[in-house]
Amino acid sequence: MPPGRRAPGLRERKKQATRSALSEAALRLTVERGLEQVRVEDIAAEAGVSPRTFNNYFSSKEEAIVAAGTDRVARVREALRARPAGESLWQAVSHAVTELFPDDGEPDRAWVAKVRLVKAAPALMAEQLKSDAAAERALAQEIAARTGTDAERDLYPRLAAAAVVAAVHVALDYWLDAPATTTLRSTLTRSLQEVAAGLPAPTTRGDAR
């Protein structure tokens, strides 16, 4: 926990636990049955709450499925705040993003299943775009605080945040196409390093791996 920030209270932890349980249930049922065969009532029952409680957290089943990625952004923000003040922006961003993923092997299967679902379902892709926009706004605020810029008036924090989100998406797509050739964490690291370096021209096709 960064200095000056209080740990969440019991009520907030309970709310987060309910939100996570609903998101996990939505993803699990959709993987098992398909998106069209899952109702809000099914998700609520799976998580042990009422449909009304579901509606207090999410406006649709699509939003609940995509929520895991939204929650990861909050963790990236916290991790970025905790990086040393003297560290360069892109080093700090790279550490904050990649520490969410294991050093070797693949990330948790449920999360990979969510990414594959989003790629295959137009309704989920639309929700993902909304989530990405929120992620860019949130990251822009952290980048602005770290660089002494203004997230509302300056171009740089917005552009940098958009570059981070795009780099993560490209790394995920690349890794899903060929997961046996590299770990997701190393692919993410390379993707962010390439952006930080201004996307230098590649030398050979093999170097892209």
Question: What's the whole-model pTM score?
Answer: 0.79
Residue 33 DSSP class: H
pLDDT in tens, 50-76: 999 999 999 999 999 888 666 678 888
Domain count, the chain: 1
Q: How far apart are alpha carbons 52 and 41 in whole angstroms?
A: 9
pLDDT in tens, 78-97: 899 999 988 999 999 999 98
Instruction: Report the first-to-last Cα separation within the chain, whole angstroms.
Output: 35
Contacts 24+ apart (CB under 8 A), 158-161: 160/89, 160/93, 161/135, 161/136, 161/137
Residue 48 lies in a domain: no
Residue 7 lies in a domain: no
Residue 2 lies in a domain: no
Residue 104 lies in a domain: yes
CB count, 10 Å around CB of 21?
A: 16
Q: Kindly report the CATH number assigned to the domain that includes residue 122.
A: 1.10.357.10
Domain region containing 198:
62-208
pLDDT in tens, 111-128: 677 778 887 888 888 888
Residue 81 lies in a domain: yes
Q: How far apart are alpha carbons 110 and 117 in whole angstroms?
A: 10
Residue 6 lies in a domain: no
CB count, 10 Å around CB of 3?
A: 6
Residue 1 lies in a domain: no
Residue 19 lies in a domain: no
Would you say how long the chain is, in residues?
Answer: 209
The predicted structure's pLDDT at residue 8: 62
Q: How far apart are alpha carbons 65 and 181 in whole angstroms?
A: 28
Cβ atoms of residues 134 and 70 within 8 Å: yes
Short-list 149, 157, 147, 126, CA closest to 59: 126
Q: What is the mean pLDDT of the chain?
A: 84
